[in-house]
């Protein structure tokens, strides 16, 4: 029998699969759609919370661990799969640091380097911004669709079985344990089950953890094709951002909408994002829009994910609710859930993420 069935093939499920298969377990991952095509694909790939000083410590702890491990993860994936997730420290320029005293204190306390910068000197193509901005030079980004492709290739290499178009409709219980995960056309059996179903996790767990506060939060993104030298760093203002990719694509994100499971991109959001992007970086007026999409973030209270054992059930775990920072937190989150499943000492104190304490 398979040692572990993971429900959900986003970055949370796939990196957990990589950890567990790397530890010698037999792993199967079931996804309701094609693998790696939901929030983890739709996201921007900024490897930091937008305003890190506004985050609870529980989020900061996972972000910090992940930020340290990303360069090695990206290098390992490139070596084992030949696919480059394009991890690079492009820096984050914050144009509206109205809470700069807090930012200063937070950076000092967390040994994060930052400095004041003149936006017009750092990024000459930006519209005139008179106030100085905060530059976090070590903030990195990853090209998340490529990261997913690389992780997928790597888990295949490690022998993980991937089941596409296999929506788990029910977790069947017997004697205080999950005994099978049913789908429309059959079922999967495993010793242990991990729910990493992103915005759908509360649905998957609805019988066993009623009221788990994980809900879909829609985010829309726009992509421009510009020239590679137009913008160097990620730029943040008014909770929106521009992300320059190596090949000149500039992403603009994002909206934050509560629309249940509707992830249709719409004209109004496209206009809003385009106006923001052009106001901040006027040359984008002439750049063609080459993409517009939406994804469903797994929203949770304060953005703190649920990671750990489901109370009173011997063999069921969850890793979900990563909200706006799931790509950033993914390596730490995957390691933590693997530690808990395997009975290893956890990389961070696990209590703040407990399903029992906040479910």
**Minimum distance, C-beta of residue 104 to ligand FAD, in the bound complex (Å):** 23
Minimum Å distance from CB 296 to ligand FAD? Answer: 6
Nearer to ligand FAD, 104 or 189 (CB): 189
- Residue 40 or residue 60: which is nearer to ligand FAD going by CB? 40
Of 25 and 240, nearer to ligand FAD (C-beta) is: 240
Instruction: Give residues in contact with ligand FAD (CB under 6 A).
Output: 7-13, 30-33, 38-40, 42-46, 167-168, 196-200, 204, 219, 221, 253-254, 295, 297-298, 320, 322-328
Rounded to a whole number of angstroms, the minimum distance from the CB of residue 139 to ligand FAD is 11
Least distance to ligand FAD from the beta carbon of 323, Å?
6
Q: How far is the CB of 56 from ligand FAD (least distance, A)?
A: 15
Beta carbon nearer to ligand FAD, 244 or 326: 326
3-state secondary structure the chain: CEEEEEECCCHHHHHHHHHHHHCCCCEEEECCCCCCCCHHHHCCCECCCCCHHHCCHHHHHHHHHHHHHHHHHHHHHHHHHCCCCCCECCCEEECCCCCHHHHHHHHHHCCCCCEEECHHHHCCCCCCCCCCEEEECCCCECCHHHHHHHHHHHHHHCCCEEECCCCEEEEEEECCEEEEEEECCEEECEEEEEECCHHHHHHHCCCCCCCCCCEEEEEEEEEEECCCCCCCCEEEECCEEEEECCCCEEEEECCCECCCCCCCCCHHHHHHHHHHHHHHCHHHHHCCEEEEEEEEEEECHHHCCEEEECCCCCCEEEEECCHHHHHHHHHHHHHHHHHHHHCCCCCCCCHHHCHHHHC
Closer to ligand FAD by CB, 39 or 90: give it: 39
In terms of CB distance, is 195 or 345 closer to ligand FAD?
A: 195
Least distance from C-beta 75 to ligand FAD, angstroms? 20
Q: How far is the CB of 38 from ligand FAD (least distance, A)?
A: 3
Report the residue number, 130 or 332, with the smaller CB distance to ligand FAD.
Answer: 332
């Amino acid at each position: 029998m398979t040692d572990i069935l993971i429900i959900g093939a986003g970055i949370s499920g796939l990196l957990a699969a990589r950890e567990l298969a790397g530890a010698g377990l037999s792993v199967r991952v079931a996804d309701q759609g094609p693998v790696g095509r939901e929030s983890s694909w739709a996201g921007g790939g900024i490897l930091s919370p937008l305003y890190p000083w506004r985050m609870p410590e529980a989020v900061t702890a996972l972000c910090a661990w992940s930020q340290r491990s990303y360069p090695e993860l990206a290098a390992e994936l490139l070596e084992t799969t030949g696919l480059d997730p394009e991890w690079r420290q492009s820096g984050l320029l914050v144009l509206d640091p109205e809470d700069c005293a807090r930012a200063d204190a937070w950076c000092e306390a967390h040994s994060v380097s930052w400095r004041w910068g003149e936006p017009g000197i750092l990024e000459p193509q930006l519209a005139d911004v008179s106030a100085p901005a905060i530059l976090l030079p070590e903030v990195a980004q990853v090209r998340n669709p490529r990261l997913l492709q690389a992780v997928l290739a790597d888990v295949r290499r490690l022998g993980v079985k991937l089941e596409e178009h296999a929506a788990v409709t029910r977790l069947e219980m017997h004697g205080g344990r999950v005994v099978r995960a049913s789908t429309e056309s059959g079922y999967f059996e495993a010793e242990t089950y991990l729910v990493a179903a992103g915005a759908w996790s509360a649905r998957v767990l609805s019988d066993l953890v009623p009221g788990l506060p994980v809900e879909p939060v829609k985010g829309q993104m726009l992509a421009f094709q510009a020239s590679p030298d137009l913008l160097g760093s990620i730029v943040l203002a008014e909770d929106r951002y521009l992300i320059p990719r190596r090949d000149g694509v500039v992403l603009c994100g994002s909206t934050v909408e509560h629309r249940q499971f509707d992830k249709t991109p719409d004209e109004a959001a496209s206009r809003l994002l385009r106006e923001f992007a052009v106001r901040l970086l006027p040359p984008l007026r002439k750049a063609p829009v080459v993409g517009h999409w939406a994804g469903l973030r797994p929203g949770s209270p304060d953005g703190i994910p649920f990671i750990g054992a489901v109370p009173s059930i011997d063999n069921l775990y969850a890793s979900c609710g990563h909200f706006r920072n799931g790509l950033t937190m993914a390596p730490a989150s995957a390691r933590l859930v693997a530690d808990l499943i395997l009975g290893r000492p956890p990389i961070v104190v696990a209590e703040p993420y407990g399903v029992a304490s906040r479910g």
